[in-house]
Homo-oligomer: A and B are copies of this chain.
Amino acid sequence: MKSLLLVAHGSRREASNEEVRQLTAQLGAHAGNRYQSVSCAFLELAEPSIPDGIEACIQEGAEEVIVLPYFLSAGRHVQEDIPREVAAKQQEYPEIPIRLAPYLGSAEGIAELLLGVAE
């Protein structure tokens, strides 16, 4: 079974981290049986870290981990930091595919979503 790990930047403002956790719960509710688990991790400033989040997925028996960056632009975090953390964990567990999904800002449906928000 696959595990989905939503990865956000993390904030000193705890309410922002809580927003991510609530979104993660929503994702889990919408995912049906597509994933064995849906959880979140943070690049910095909040817990769990990305390595710890991936580790938790693996420890609960994930046969594949999908890492989904909750970021709007392809900056250094998306292009370097997150891939580096994923690659390090992949090296530790070569038998379990850890796949990095596209970041949110690159989603094709984002224009339609924004138009809906603006209504």
Contact = CB atoms under 8 A, between A and B. Distances in A.
A27 B111 contact: yes
Contacts of A31: 115
With most chain B CB atoms within 10 A of its CB, the pick from A23, A110, A114 is A114
Contacts of A30: 111-112, 115
Interface string A12-23: 010110011001
Given A16-B75, A113-B110, A66 B118 contact: yes
Number of copies: 2
Q: How large is the interface on A (under 10, 10 to 19, 20 to 34, 35 or more residues)?
A: 35 or more
A61 interface: no
Contact of A73 (B19, B75, B105, B114): B19
A23 to B, nearest CB: 7
A102 interface: yes
